[in-house]
Amino acid sequence: MKKKILLILSAALLFTTACILTAPVQPTEVPNVNSSIATSVALTLAASGQAPPGAAMPTPLPTMTASIPPTITFTPTIALTATPSVPMVSVSVNTNCRTGPGKVYGYIGALLIGEKAEVVGKHTSSNYWIIKNPDANGTCWLWGYYATVAGNTANLQEYIVPPTPTPTLTPTPAIPLAPSNFVVNHVCGATMQVTITWTDNSNNETGFNVYQDSVLEHTAGENITTVSDDIPFVAGTPIEFSVAAFNGTGESARQVASVTCP
């Protein structure tokens, strides 16, 4: 039995070996160096525009030129400001309008920021415009330092400076007339109670000054004709009272009276 098994194994081994020995051997692929070089040369010549020997020149591809759209330039629209048909003036600072060029002339109006007025004349040397008064009928003179005039001023009339106004003098008031009928009524007690009265003889007084021993003690308003007081005293010593009318010009003569407590 063992011999039979050994024989079978030997036969199988011989069969396998025969199969291996009879299998065809695949050749190893060797790169064709000459073919690679030729391909490289052909590509180089084609790139330079030359055909390899025996080959036709390839048809060159058309050159593509990029088409760049033109840049669109927008032209800004210019807003035109209409020129006024008559010259108009405005100011950057509220400006007085007078009867002539300067502060010696009377104030008769003003041109304020945001207002406009028509210009009817000019005085170039003093930089004044003559305009229609914004606050009343007629015209007035506007200093041009803060002014802006829009419109054609070439044909405006050159005005002549008006005469300087004569200042109005306020007469100095006369000194008021002195009061009369000056009376000092008194009552003696722990203190002296006095009532002083007089007659107002003037019509232009500002008031009345009442004095005690030449020291101003009271000032009464105009048309007042009495004051009262309660003052200390020394028995047997007279106290002098006086009154005078006064205004901005001066003081009238004083009316005097003396009283004594025993």
Give the C-alpha separation, 97 to 131, whole Å: 9
- pLDDT surpassing 70 at residue 222: yes
Identify the CATH number of the domain in which residue 109 sits.
2.30.30.40
Amino acid at 3: K
Report how many domains make up the chain: 2
- The terminus-to-terminus CA distance of the chain in angstroms comes to 189
Does residue 145 sit in the same domain as residue 205? no
- Residue range of the domain that includes 253: 180-259
- 220 inside domain: yes
Pairing of strands 239-246, 255-259: antiparallel
Give the C-alpha separation, 206 to 219, whole Å: 10
Residue 41 pLDDT: 47
- 150 inside domain: yes
Does residue 204 sit in the same domain as residue 143? no
What is the average per-residue pLDDT within 90-107? 95
Among residues 163, 96, 177, 164, the alpha carbon closest in space to that of 131 is found at: 96
- pLDDT surpassing 90 at residue 217: yes
- 54 inside domain: no
pLDDT in tens, 150-175: 999 999 999 999 999 887 777 888 99
Residue percentage of the chain with pLDDT more than 90: 64
Identify the CATH number of the domain in which residue 187 sits.
2.60.40.10
Torsions phi, psi for 255 (to 5 deg): -100, 135
Does residue 208 sit in the same domain as residue 252? yes
pLDDT in tens, 29-60: 444 545 555 555 455 555 555 555 555 555 55
pLDDT in tens, 6-37: 566 656 666 655 555 454 544 444 445 455 55
pTM of the model: 0.40
- 206 inside domain: yes
Residue 39 pLDDT: 54
Average pLDDT of the chain to the nearest whole number: 82
Does residue 191 sit in the same domain as residue 249? yes
Residue 60 pLDDT: 56
Residue percentage of the chain with pLDDT more than 70: 68
